[in-house]
Amino acid sequence: MPRRLPTDDVYGKAVQDIILSSSDTDFIDQLIPVLRDATTNGNRPFHLTQSLVQYVEEREAEIETIGLTKHEEFLGSVNQLQLVREGTVALTAEILELNQSIKASTEKLAEQKRNLVDTQAVRQNISDAAEALRESLRILHAVNHAHELIRKKKYYGALKSLEDLQNEHLVPLIQNKYATQHQLAGLIQRSIPASQKTISEAVMTDLNTWLYRVRETSQFLGEVAFYHTDLRRTRMKERVEQNGFLKHFKLNSAIELVFDESEEFDVLDNDEVSVDFAPLFEALHIHEALGQSDRFRADYAATRRQQKDLLMPASVKLEDDDQGSSLSSLLEGVAGFAIIEKATMRKAPQLRSSVDVDELWDSMCQTVINLITKALRDVTHAEVLLKIKGVISLFIQTMDGWGYSVTTLDSFLLKLFDKYAELLKRRFSGDFQEIVSTDDYMPMTVNSLEEYEKVINASWFSQEKPVSELTFPCVLPFSQMYPLCCIDIRNFLEQFYFFSDDHFQHASVIDETLRKSLDELLNAKICQSLVERLSSQYLGQMVQILINLEHFETACQELEQLLIRARSSTSAGGPVSLTATEQFRSNKKTAEKRIFELVNSKIDDLVDTAEYDWMAPQSQTEPSNYIQTLTRYLFNIMSSTLLSLPREIKELIYYDALNHAADRILMLPLAPEVKHINPNGVADLARDVQYLTEFVGSLDNAFMLEQNLDELKQSVALMQTENADEFYDITTRNKKYGRVNAQNGAILLEKVTHAVEGPHRAPQGLANFSSRFGLR
């Protein structure tokens, strides 16, 4: 065995691992770390090489040992290998032979195969050509079918057919650049956009036709909608008549809709009118399929705006022969247009949004309001406004039922009502003025029971006597103007509340406006007109004005209660006060004062006709003419002119007249121009005063009226006394001459005394009294 070199056995284990590696890759993986370690550690590579050499020597020694110990077996194995080799050479020869045979057969078979392949290629070409022709025919058939559908206006079917053609046939062929039909598919593919455009244009043509028909149908559609709303209002009124509780619920309220469920009616599809939305849906569907939804929505919105503008006229007539027809046509057209818009939004929300529809609605409402406002300048009759309000109310209720906001229209009704109230006030103002100016200011006479009942029913007047005790002709205390004004007042109230019928959300405004307007009419046109006529010199007219004022005051009080009962539930509670009530009451005092003035003026005129001869040589045997005329005048006005006055006013006038007459008669002897009065003159005055006293004593309530004559009678008695000194005695004077003015009494005594005793000297007491009062 070879000698083992003494080496460091550091890499012995690593060499074992390397040698035992199962594969070249594993061998390399084991060797690399060892080489890296050996390289980085100085003389270690030498030691690694030494370890490998040592391993080789050991293996060779082992092989040599095996060869020496198993020599026979090794030789036997060599012999066996030799035999195997000989057999292998024989087999190789046979295989070469067989290979030559197979090669000859294969060449023959390859020749036959080449002939078969050539035949199959021809057949495949024919088959491919036939298939390509059939595929081309299917493509052309699909194209023709699509165009046929277009001609039949089956646009969606045509569009779907083109889509199927593209997806099933054209796209695969175009993607396969080697396909026979590639060019044909490309050509047809390029023509599809033109076909789609044709479909789009055809759809829009049909849609425009539909839009034109819809625009032409809008007014009739609105008319049908108005008619249906009017029927609903009639049914609701009938329900309210049967059940008063339902008056709290308006049209389009939940309660009304529940009650009206049995009367189903489709405004868009009925015996009168039918709106088919199929063209619109088809156009929308087609443009969605074409991916042109946004453009279609924009085009449709622009078209509807144009149609809205075409719907609005430049002006509207409100006072033509067929009043309201122009306005009705306008509102019917707007209603039909808005109903179509709302129905479109509900059926196709992706096409029309609520913002678009509401924008058009607000624009139309504002245009309608502007047109009506402009035309209102020429309206001069309240009845026209009432018809306009009726049409607008029907419009509001119809559109409210379709979910539109009617706030702007409700606010406009308020402006319309202001115009209505102004025209009513202007018209009734003229009526009142004419009634007041043409009245005869004489008590009204009715000739029959029927006429009497008409007057009583129209006026606020209660007759003290029962109807059964009346005889006709019958004279009523007021003049004809009072019942005529009462009739106009009732008509004024009724026509004011006409505006609140059907639909008006501002009932409280009516109540307040009515109160103010009525107050103004009563004050300015009746009360003030009556006061202006108080300047007349005719007493009978003044008395009649006073009586009329009295009845108008009562009428105002009744009107206050009537306004409370008639006002709406939305108005504020509490009493209703008319300033006219106080005006009539206060002007009664003015009329009474004017009557006092006329009566007193007449008394002044009569007393001024008195012709006393204060220094008469003898007294008269009969009362003076003026006193007889005065008493006759007082009697006549009490029994005729003042007869219709209330008792308290009549007594007050009489009381004041007698008091004034007594003062004026007393002023006759007190006049500065009367210097002396003899006993005959005093006797004549006393006779007239006695005549007046007897007249007053014959009157009702004479006890109170005679008090007005006390001063006059005591003054005459003082002039007749023989003991003038009694007047200067306070105790006696208070008993006998208590009503005589001290200064007037002294003057009268001075005049009478001077007339009897001469003008040279006055009694000492009288002189003292005169000096006390500053008399000369």
Residue 400 neighbours by CB distance under 10 Å: 18
Q: How far apart are CA 435 and CA 548, in angstroms?
A: 13
Q: How far apart are CA 671 and CA 697, in angstroms?
A: 28
Q: What is the rounded average pLDDT of the residues 25-54?
A: 67
The radius of gyration of the chain's CA atoms, rounded to the nearest angstrom, is 66
Q: How far apart are CA 85 and CA 89, in angstroms?
A: 6
SS3 content of the chain, % helix, strand, coil (to 5): 75, 0, 25
- Say if residue 173's pLDDT is above 60: no
CA-based nearest residue to 140, from 172, 170, 167: 170
pLDDT computed for residue 484 by the predictor: 93
Residues 6+ apart with CB under 8 A from 278: none
Indicate the DSSP class of residue 758: -
Q: Categorize the per-residue pLDDT at 229 as very low, low, confident or very high, splitting at 50, 70 and 90.
A: confident
C-alpha dihedral, 610 to 614 to 616 to 621, nearest 10°? 50
SS3 for 110-134, per residue? HHHHHHHHHHHHHHHHHHHHHHHHH
Q: Categorize the per-residue pLDDT at 369 as very low, low, confident or very high, splitting at 50, 70 and 90.
A: very high
**For the segment 370-424, what is each residue's pLDDT rounded down to a tens digit?**
999 998 888 888 888 888 888 888 888 888 888 898 889 888 988 888 888 899 8
Peptide bond into 473 cis (omega under 30): yes
Start-to-end Cα distance in the chain: 202
CA 510-516-518 angle, 5° bins: 95
Residues 6+ apart with CB under 8 A from 483: 444, 455, 458, 459
Q: Categorize the per-residue pLDDT at 628 as very low, low, confident or very high, splitting at 50, 70 and 90.
A: very high
- Say if residue 19's pLDDT is above 50: yes
**For the segment 557-607, what is each residue's pLDDT rounded down to a tens digit?**
998 888 888 776 555 566 788 898 999 999 988 988 888 888 889 889 999
Q: What is the rounded average pLDDT of the residues 7-32?
A: 64
Q: Categorize the per-residue pLDDT at 147 as very low, low, confident or very high, splitting at 50, 70 and 90.
A: low
Q: Categorize the per-residue pLDDT at 171 as very low, low, confident or very high, splitting at 50, 70 and 90.
A: low
Which burial class, exposed, middle or buried, applies to 393 when counting CB atoms under 10 A from its CB (0-12, 13-18, 19+)?
buried
Q: How far apart are CA 521 and CA 496, in angstroms?
A: 14
- Kindly state the greatest CA–CA separation across the chain: 223
- Say if residue 180's pLDDT is above 60: no
Residue 97 neighbours by CB distance under 10 Å: 10
User: Quick check: pTM over 0.85?
Assistant: no
Q: What is the rounded average pLDDT of the residues 682-699?
A: 90
pLDDT computed for residue 158 by the predictor: 64
**For the segment 587-599, what is each residue's pLDDT rounded down to a tens digit?**
988 988 888 888 8
Helix (H) or strand (E) holding 601: helix 579-608
pLDDT computed for residue 126 by the predictor: 76
Pair of tokens at residue 402: 């379709």
Q: Categorize the per-residue pLDDT at 146 as very low, low, confident or very high, splitting at 50, 70 and 90.
A: low
pLDDT computed for residue 360 by the predictor: 92
- CA 739 to the chain's CA centroid: 75
**For the segment 79-127, what is each residue's pLDDT rounded down to a tens digit?**
787 777 777 777 777 777 877 878 777 878 888 888 888 777 777 777 7
Q: Categorize the per-residue pLDDT at 324 as very low, low, confident or very high, splitting at 50, 70 and 90.
A: very low
pLDDT computed for residue 773 by the predictor: 39
- Say if residue 774's pLDDT is above 50: no
CA-based nearest residue to 627, from 649, 609, 650: 609
